[in-house]
Structure 1
Amino acid sequence: MPSRSAPAIRIGCAGWSIATRHAVLFDDGGSALARYATRLDVAEINSSFYRPHRPQTYERWAAQVPPHFRFSVKVPKAVTHEARLVRAGDALARFADEVAGLGRKLGGLLVQLPPSLAYEARVANTFFAVLRRRFPRTPVACEPRHPSWYEPRVDALWARHAVARVAADPPRPQDAAVPGGHGRWHYWRWHGSPRIYFSAYDDDRLRALAAALRAHARRGRPVWCIFDNTAHAHAIENALRLKALLREAPPERDDAAPRRSLSRLR
């Protein structure tokens, strides 16, 4: 659970690779993760989606970041894409044992669903009940990508299991553009647009995002924003630029359209 001293808004990236052109933006550290943590306070661990990590690996990562830093961890594709949420208890038990190595620096879990996985009430309720038994107090965010998960009937599922619904860009489907659900946080994942994973975001988009993050932070839940446009290393520059924009005094109305574009990273 977030502490009372936790920042209202956390900005970070999927992974913590630092391109050579961005090295000067970070302070010194004993590893790429340690350097990353000198400027950003959250990272999303995506490699857990593809392969398991030993608890000692998570322990090593936790030891390289300051006390206030947090990780979100992506639930393995063996659970979400291969098992498709069915009979996932054993896999979730192994996953829980592994990520326990993060200790208090485990900030939450990300459940990303395949676009072909339609909502089935029985399957979804069983899965999230099992997940909650393994992680009773850990914030959980779900990124569904089939339109059926955005129907009003799914609201009861999010509320019952305290699950936040991710706000994604590009939104797939369109309803995915705004956060939903009933979890303990609001969670944005920006993947790059128009070219997913490759495109950078300009200042107009980032200013609009900053306004949305401020508005949701005022509602009292922690707000996390993860940039996943890592293919050309734009995630780092977008994350740092967004942090700079959030430090600026907000306009008189957060939803006012930006009047000019500032392209330099400050």
Structure 2
Amino acid sequence: MDQPPLFTASLFDDDGTLPPVVGAADPDPALAPLAGALPPRLWLGTSSWHYPGWAGRVWDRTYTEEQLSRHGLPAYARHPLFRAVGLDRGFYRPLTVEQYAGYAAQVPAEFRFLVKAPGQVTDALRRGRGGQGLQPNPDFLDIERAWRDLAVPAGEGLGDKLGALVLQISPLPAVWLNDMAPVIARLHELLRALRVRAPAALVAVEVRDPHWLTPDFVAALKDTGATYCLGLHGKMPPIAEQLPILRVLWPGPLVCRWNLNLKHGAYGYETARDQYAPYDKLVDPDPDTRAALARVIAGTTGAGWPAFVTLSNKAEGSAPLSVAALAEAVLAAGGSR
């Protein structure tokens, strides 16, 4: 998937050889002053870091995906604009305190991680290897499972480098979509428990069904101090149609994950992957979405709140180039130091 394999604290790789040192590319001279002009409460980054096609922009030469997955994070964190990264790997299998601490040890003090919750908590179905739903998931939105497998290990392992816990709720069974009240109530209970047990944690909820976007859902977020994760994805409405939710929740922090170019529709990951690889150029620039997001960032940080924003290669074709373009748009929108 889009996340690194198991972090190892050993000096040696599994085959007994010394790991390579992944070098950082010499940055474009324009990036340092651009980064220095951005709001200090803005944490920009990408959804992961293991892409060989970023050679020359992020890496000093071409490495394999495995090399980058294991050893690329320190070089990634040296990029002038990258102050955050998405950590989705725990969606497939919960990570331990030690694994989170291993990631934290590789980045500077001001760096932040957006941690995606395990699928055992955020998927209503248990799925087969092909992603097909097999049976109901009894741990869906379970309080104790979310606490044990997400909040505790991420909080203890990452410490101050934890930016946000993201509950990205997978598409619901079709039969549920006509009656959202019970599932919203269940989410409300989970968010309330997390607020009591970890009051300092920023919890963001990202959904993949527009049926969630109701007054009851927004009320559950507001009541518990959680925020809405602005999810830019083909299954959700355009950014302009999601912003009213944030207006109800503001003032407050911003969490955004730009996952997919909207033109690819609800199930466009494979299409975007095939069209955009090796992710070394902007294939489908989306200046309208970028400008709208920049205005939201500028407004949030200008009011003194943090903004955590990650972008995927599948947003426009190359996440590093999308981050740079978004940074310029933020300055154009009035967001600066």
**Quick check: TM above 0.5?**
yes
- In 2, the alpha carbon distance for the partners of 1:147 and 1:27 equals 38
What's the counterpart of residue 243 of structure 1? 327
Ranges of 4+ aligned residues in structure 1 off by more than 4 Å: 27-30, 230-233
What's the counterpart of residue 150 of structure 2? 95
For residue 225 of structure 1, give the secondary structure of its aligned residue in structure 2: strand
Deviation for aligned residue 1:19: 2.6
2:257 aligned with 1:189: yes
Which region of structure 1 is more displaced relative to structure 2, 153-162 or 101-110?
153-162
Residue by residue, what CA displacement relative to the aligned partner does 1:55-86 show, whole Å, maximum 9, x if unpaired? 21111110111111011111111011134644
For residue 200 of structure 2, give the secondary structure of its aligned residue in structure 1: coil
Rg larger in structure: 2
- In 2, the alpha carbon distance for the partners of 1:31 and 1:135 equals 31
What's the counterpart of residue 158 of structure 1? 221
Deviation for aligned residue 1:54: 2.2
Deviation for aligned residue 1:204: 2.0
Describe the shift of the 1:156–1:208 C-alpha distance in structure 2 as closer, same or farther (beyond 3 A): closer
Describe the shift of the 1:102–1:69 C-alpha distance in structure 2 as closer, same or farther (beyond 3 A): same
Deviation for aligned residue 1:36: 1.1
**Equivalent of 1:68, from 110, 116, 120?**
110
Which region of structure 1 is more displaced relative to structure 2, 197-206 or 183-192?
197-206
Q: How large is the Cα RMSD of the aligned pairs?
A: 3.0
2:246 aligned with 1:213: no
Counterpart residue type for residue 139 of structure 1: L
Deviation for aligned residue 1:192: 1.9
Residue by residue, what CA displacement relative to the aligned partner does 1:145-203 show, whole Å, maximum 9, x if unpaired? 33342112333211111111122223644276336263841112111212244265516
2:244 aligned with 1:202: no
For residue 205 of structure 2, give the secondary structure of its aligned residue in structure 1: strand
- In 1, the alpha carbon distance for the partners of 2:207 and 2:114 equals 17
Residue by residue, what CA displacement relative to the aligned partner does 1:2-34 show, whole Å, maximum 9, x if unpaired? xxxx822221111222434x2322377993111
What's the counterpart of residue 78 of structure 1? 120
Counterpart residue type for residue 260 of structure 2: G
Describe the shift of the 1:12–1:145 C-alpha distance in structure 2 as closer, same or farther (beyond 3 A): same
Q: Is the 8 A contact 1:113 1:145 kept in 2?
A: yes
Identity percentage over the alignment?
A: 26
Q: Is the 8 A contact 2:115 2:165 kept in 1?
A: yes
Which region of structure 1 is more displaced relative to structure 2, 217-226 or 160-169?
217-226
**Equivalent of 1:123, from 186, 211, 215?**
186
Q: Is the 8 A contact 1:169 1:177 kept in 2?
A: no
**Equivalent of 1:144, from 207, 215, 229?**
207
Q: Is the 8 A contact 1:96 1:134 kept in 2?
A: no
Question: What is the total number of aligned residue pairs between the two structures?
Answer: 245
Structure 2 length as normaliser, TM-score?
0.63
Which region of structure 1 is more displaced relative to structure 2, 67-76 or 217-226?
217-226
Describe the shift of the 1:91–1:10 C-alpha distance in structure 2 as closer, same or farther (beyond 3 A): closer
Counterpart residue type for residue 99 of structure 2: T
- In 2, the alpha carbon distance for the partners of 1:232 and 1:250 equals 20
Q: Is the 8 A contact 1:80 1:114 kept in 2?
A: yes
Counterpart residue type for residue 35 of structure 1: A
Q: Is the 8 A contact 1:48 1:76 kept in 2?
A: yes
2:308 aligned with 1:224: yes
Counterpart residue type for residue 222 of structure 1: P
Structure 1 length as normaliser, TM-score?
0.79
Describe the shift of the 1:68–1:182 C-alpha distance in structure 2 as closer, same or farther (beyond 3 A): same
Describe the shift of the 1:220–1:119 C-alpha distance in structure 2 as closer, same or farther (beyond 3 A): farther
Deviation for aligned residue 1:244: 3.7
- In 2, the alpha carbon distance for the partners of 1:239 and 1:152 equals 32
